[in-house]
């Protein structure tokens, strides 16, 4: 039975549960992803997030197909990687994801990042090839050229909805002005240390749904220690709300996102945490506001494309500001 959590209505017409299950980080232990996804399905999760990069499509697909839950009741997102952005690579990449998932269609197919890189092949060892400067150079593939191929996937029934990830407002505005099918989703990093208020408000006004990745602020990242920032789960406003509602700080952060109107995709392979993460409860507006204040003046991004991929990938322009 599906869990009793709110849904968002996508501009493509489909309903999407606001609390989903993320599978990032499972590449080295596919059996754990498979078993955890089975637990999630049993606990009522019907929204799952994966990507070609994650190497978890096969494990997730096997779990869903073997669960007894009808395929049409499960919403699965996967993503097009940067090396597949040339028009001739879009459909083959999508077909590979379909094959690994074992599905006839993908519910949401989205850009993983806005930039494009040179194609070196479809093997996972070939999709993050850095140069001697520890950088991956971007190539000039207009976003709309890739998007046109994704629109064809919808028209041909391979994909039901298409979206983007890590897009800024100007990127979205440009894409919408040219697209035949508007993006149904923008998946971005959102947590109290990076509340993304401008994007949250803009997306509501333009009927584009949001999904928050890293909704807990990446508590396992040692990067925080070197910056002097406290972990989001340890913020006083979060701990105060947890005490008020009799919930864990993790449950508070998940439901803070739900209260703000977007989807949240926490990940865990621990059955008890998987069960706890989908427990929905309403938060008072004043508590939502107090938590939102955490990152309002000094936002902290944990998934920095420059640090991950090299200096050519400053898609947010944040490093240019520092120079």
Which are the catalytic amino acids? 54
Q: Is 315 exposed, middle or buried (0-12, 13-18, 19+ CB in 10 A)?
A: middle
CA 268 vs. chain centroid, Å, equals: 15
SS3 content of the chain, % helix, strand, coil (to 5): 45, 15, 40
Closest Cα partner for 130 from 312, 304, 303, 317?
Answer: 312
The answer to whether the CB of 144 falls within 8 A of the CB of 116 is no
How far apart CA 151 and CA 191 sit, in angstroms, is 31
174-199-265 Cα angle (round to 5): 110
Closest Cα partner for 80 from 46, 47, 117?
Answer: 117
| Contacts of 295 by beta carbon, 8 Å cutoff, 6+ apart | 191, 192, 193, 194, 195
Residue linked to tokens 């493509």:
12
Token pair listed for 124: 């996972």
How far apart CA 296 and CA 195 sit, in angstroms, is 7
């Amino acid at each position: 039975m599906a869990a009793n959590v709110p849904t968002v209505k996508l501009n493509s017409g489909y309903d999407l549960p606001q609390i989903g299950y993320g599978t990032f980080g499972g590449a080295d232990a596919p059996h754990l992803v498979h078993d955890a996804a089975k637990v999630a399905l049993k606990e009522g999760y019907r929204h799952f997030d994966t990507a070609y990069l994650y190497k978890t499509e096969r494990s997730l697909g096997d779990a869903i197909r073997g669960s007894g839950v009808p395929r049409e009741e499960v919403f699965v997102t996967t993503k097009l990687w940067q090396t597949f952005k040339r028009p001739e690579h879009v459909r083959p990449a999508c077909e590979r994801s379909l094959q690994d998932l074992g599905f006839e269609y993908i519910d949401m197919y989205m850009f993983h990042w806005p930039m494009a890189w040179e194609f070196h092949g479809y093997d996972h060892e070939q999709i993050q090839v850095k140069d001697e400067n520890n950088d991956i150079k971007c190539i000039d593939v207009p976003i709309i050229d890739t998007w046109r191929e994704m629109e064809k996937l919808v028209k041909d029934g391979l994909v039901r909805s298409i979206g983007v990830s890590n897009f800024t407002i100007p990127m979205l505005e440009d894409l919408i002005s040219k697209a035949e099918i508007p993006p149904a989703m923008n998946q971005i990093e959102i947590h109290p240390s990076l509340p993304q208020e401008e994007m949250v408000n803009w997306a509501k006004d333009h009927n584009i749904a949001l999904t928050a990745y890293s909704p807990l602020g990446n508590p396992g990242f040692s990067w925080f220690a070197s910056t002097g920032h406290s972990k989001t789960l340890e913020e006083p406003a979060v701990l105060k709300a947890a005490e008020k509602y009799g919930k864990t700080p993790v449950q508070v952060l998940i439901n803070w996102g739900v209260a703000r109107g977007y989807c949240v995709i926490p990940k865990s392979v621990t059955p008890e945490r998987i069960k706890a993460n989908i427990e929905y409860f309403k938060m008072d507006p004043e508590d939502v506001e107090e938590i939102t204040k955490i990152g309002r003046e000094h936002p902290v991004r944990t998934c920095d494309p420059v640090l991950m991929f090299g200096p050519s990938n400053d898609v947010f322009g944040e490093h240019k500001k520092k120079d």
